[in-house]
């Protein structure tokens, strides 16, 4: 009868239930895991120290007068720094893969244990059901004495308590299983992000190498040729700016103040990643600010000292120092109004590679001197989306981003010769132009 089978069933159930008991790692296994974590963290710390050291050297070079050798050295250091960043990313990718493998194995073990316990509980319940089919009178007369009956009843109570406990353990195991699955999904998402970072870092290396190769080709590795190139760029930029100002003053575009967002509303995001901007704050002694700004909007000391270049109208954007190949992010969602490369027009030293995005709040944003463009005209972009990599194309004496904010109403994309026949080398270059009142201070909206 059922009571006689209870000890056997309870024993079977107790043994089956042990599958639900967490398998604690042995002391040796735990020590091995901790050693792996320590080794991983140590490698990352060493690489991060290298990256910081390279940045310190880059900052020192940036403070020096621009020469061919200093520029080549800066590009070489950037490549070394990128190599260390790539090593960090690869290390993190390997670690993420290991975490995924370990969690997946744990999930497999837990699923197998849960299945075994479900089967054991089901078998035990079937036995209980069979036993309960006998009447109380039959069960009493099937025992040798009333003491046996009371003993059997006590065993039933113990069995029920064990059953409840094992069902609770099964529920806990399912929660652990669900948690581990969530962890695997999180690690996989992290892995995808790391692999994207790695691809970007490799492209950054390519951009740096391409810039270095082009510079050596243009200068034949001679300092005199480099200084002549700088002078040539400055003269060409002066001519271009003069003609651009003439065009700006003749554009019949009206900017209505009511079409613009409120100043100080913070509608725009910085055009770099959060990590990059956080790093800027740690280098405030280098830039004199927390945002890696190398030149502000308006009549800055540099624009005033180089009035022949800016034609006395000040700087129409902000410049932000960034190594060649740094990912650039859309400051707000919108549509790509246009892209271009003024370097394709011989003798035109202006924006170089540029992207302009039209937002839906009356503002346009311009990103210039890029090494790589990742978007195309008409494409919809979201806030923070990577649109290209920073560089030093066009009129740039060092790697930086020229970040401009324009009133949409006062902006057009055209060639200078489309308006009263400009004659400078940049006349055939397509670029954004705006009426003078359409140039806005980016810091008013960041």
Tell me: do 272 and 409 sit in the same domain.
yes
Q: CB atoms < 10 A from the CB of 252, how many?
A: 5
- The Cα-based distances of 150 to 131, 143, 404 in angstroms read 16, 10, 89
Domain presence at residue 430? yes
Query: What pLDDT shows up at residue 372?
Result: 93
Cα atoms in the 13 Å half-sphere on the side-chain side of 440 = 28
Domain presence at residue 236? no
Query: What pLDDT shows up at residue 290?
Result: 95
Query: What pLDDT shows up at residue 50?
Result: 84
Cα atoms in the 13 Å half-sphere on the side-chain side of 180 = 19
Domain presence at residue 230? no
Name the strand (E) or helix (H) holding 320: strand 318-321
- The Cα-based distances of 179 to 17, 101, 116, 142, 185 in angstroms read 21, 15, 20, 49, 10
Domain that holds residue 98: 2-207
**Residue 363 belongs to domain with CATH number:** 2.70.70.10
- Average pLDDT on 336-364 reads 93
Tell me: do 272 and 413 sit in the same domain.
yes
Q: Assess whether pLDDT exceeds 60 at residue 136.
A: no
Task: State the maximum Cα–Cα separation within the chain, in Å, rounded to a whole number.
Answer: 119
Q: Which residue has tokens 């080794």? A: 39
For 52, list phi and psi in degrees, rounded to 5: -65, -40
Tell me: do 347 and 201 sit in the same domain.
no
Q: Assess whether pLDDT exceeds 80 at residue 209.
A: yes
Give strand ranges (E) for 79-136: none
| Separation CA 71–CA 80 (nearest Å) | 14
Q: In DSSP terms, which residues pair with 367 in a beta bridge?
A: 355, 403
Q: Which tokens go with 147?
A: 């003491």
Tell me: do 189 and 294 sit in the same domain.
no
Confidence category of residue 381, pLDDT binned at 50, 70, 90: very high
Q: Which of 174, 207, 240 is the last residue of a domain?
A: 207
Q: Which tokens go with 11?
A: 């024993």
Q: Which residue has tokens 């004659």? A: 423
Tell me: do 134 and 259 sit in the same domain.
no
| Separation CA 408–CA 70 (nearest Å) | 40
114 and 174 Cβ atoms separated by less than 8 Å: yes
Q: Tens digits of per-residue pLDDT, 140-194? A: 555 555 566 566 666 666 766 766 766 777 677 778 778 878 888 888 888 888 8
Q: Assess whether pLDDT exceeds 70 at residue 8.
A: no
CA 431 to chain centre: 29
| Separation CA 133–CA 354 (nearest Å) | 84
Domain presence at residue 217? no
Tell me: do 157 and 289 sit in the same domain.
no
Domain presence at residue 133? yes
Tell me: do 164 and 262 sit in the same domain.
no
Q: Which of 173, 192, 207 is the last residue of a domain?
A: 207
Mean pLDDT, rounded, of the chain = 79
Domain presence at residue 335? yes
329 and 386 Cβ atoms separated by less than 8 Å: yes
For residue 199, give every residue at least 6 positions away whose Cβ sits within 8 Å of its Cβ, in sequence order, or none: none
Tell me: do 277 and 150 sit in the same domain.
no
Query: What pLDDT shows up at residue 420?
Result: 55
Domain presence at residue 437? yes
Q: Tens digits of per-residue pLDDT, 295-323? A: 998 865 544 444 433 444 578 899 999 99
Tell me: do 132 and 266 sit in the same domain.
no
| Separation CA 56–CA 153 (nearest Å) | 80
Domain count, the chain: 2
Q: Tens digits of per-residue pLDDT, 79-117? A: 888 888 888 888 888 888 888 888 787 777 767 776 776
Tell me: do 284 and 188 sit in the same domain.
no
Tell me: do 202 and 262 sit in the same domain.
no
| Separation CA 426–CA 394 (nearest Å) | 11
118 versus 70: the higher-pLDDT residue is: 70
Tell me: do 267 and 183 sit in the same domain.
no
Domain presence at residue 214? no
For residue 291, give every residue at least 6 positions away whose Cβ sits within 8 Å of its Cβ, in sequence order, or none: 270, 277, 280, 281, 320
- The Cα-based distances of 248 to 143, 238, 366, 422 in angstroms read 108, 15, 17, 12
Number of H helices, E strands in the chain: 10, 12
Q: Which tokens go with 188?
A: 């996989």
Cα atoms in the 13 Å half-sphere on the side-chain side of 214 = 13
C-alpha distance across the termini of the chain, in Å? 81
Report which of 263, 385, 284, 285 is spatially closest to residue 335, judged by C-alpha positions: 385
230 and 219 Cβ atoms separated by less than 8 Å: no
């Amino acid at each position: 009868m059922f009571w006689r089978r209870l000890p056997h069933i309870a024993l079977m159930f107790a043994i089956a239930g042990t599958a639900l008991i967490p398998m604690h790692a042995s002391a040796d296994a735990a020590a091995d895991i901790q050693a792996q974590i320590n080794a991983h963290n140590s490698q990352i710390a060493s690489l991060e120290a290298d990256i910081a050291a390279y940045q310190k050297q880059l900052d020192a070079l940036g403070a020096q007068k621009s020469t061919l050798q200093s520029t080549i050295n800066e590009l070489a250091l950037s490549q070394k720094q990128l190599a260390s960043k790539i090593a960090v990313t690869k290390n993190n990718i390997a670690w993420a893969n290991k975490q995924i493998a370990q969690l997946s194995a744990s999930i497999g073990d837990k699923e197998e244990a849960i299945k075994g316990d479900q089967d054991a509980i089901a078998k035990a319940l079937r036995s209980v059901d069979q036993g309960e089919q006998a009447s109380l009178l039959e069960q009493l007369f099937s025992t040798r004495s009333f003491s046996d009956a009371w003993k059997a009843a006590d065993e039933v109570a113990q069995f029920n308590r064990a059953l409840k406990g094992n069902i609770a353990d099964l529920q806990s195991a399912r929660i652990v299983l669900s948690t581990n699955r969530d962890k695997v999904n999180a690690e996989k998402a992290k892995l995808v992000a790391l692999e994207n970072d790695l691809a970007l870092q490799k492209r950054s290396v390519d951009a740096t190498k391409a810039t270095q190769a082009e510079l050596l080709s243009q200068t034949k590795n001679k300092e005199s040729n480099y200084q002549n190139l700088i002078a040539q760029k400055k003269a060409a930029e002066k001519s271009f700016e003069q003609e651009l100002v003439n065009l700006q003053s003749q554009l019949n575009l009206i900017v209505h103040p009511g079409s613009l967002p409120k100043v100080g509303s913070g509608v725009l995001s910085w055009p770099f990643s959060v990590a990059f901007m956080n790093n800027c704050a740690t280098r405030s002694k280098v830039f004199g600010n927390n945002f890696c700004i190398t030149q502000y909007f308006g009549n800055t000391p540099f624009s005033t000292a180089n009035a022949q270049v800016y034609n006395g109208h000040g700087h129409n954007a902000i410049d932000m120092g960034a190594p060649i190949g740094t990912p650039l992010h859309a400051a707000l969602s919108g549509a790509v109004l246009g892209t271009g490369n003024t370097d394709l027009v011989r003798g035109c030293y202006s924006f170089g590679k540029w992207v302009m995005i039209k937002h839906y709040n009356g503002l346009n944003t311009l990103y210039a001197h890029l090494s790589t463009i990742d978007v195309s005209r008409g494409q919809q972009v979201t806030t923070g989306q990577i649109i290209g990599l920073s560089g030093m194309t066009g009129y740039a004496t060092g790697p930086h981003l020229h970040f401009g904010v324009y009133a949409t109403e006062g902006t057009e994309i055209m060639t200078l010769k489309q308006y009263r026949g400009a004659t400078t080398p940049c006349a055939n270059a397509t670029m954004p132009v705006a009426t003078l009142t359409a140039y806005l201070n980016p810091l008013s909206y960041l």
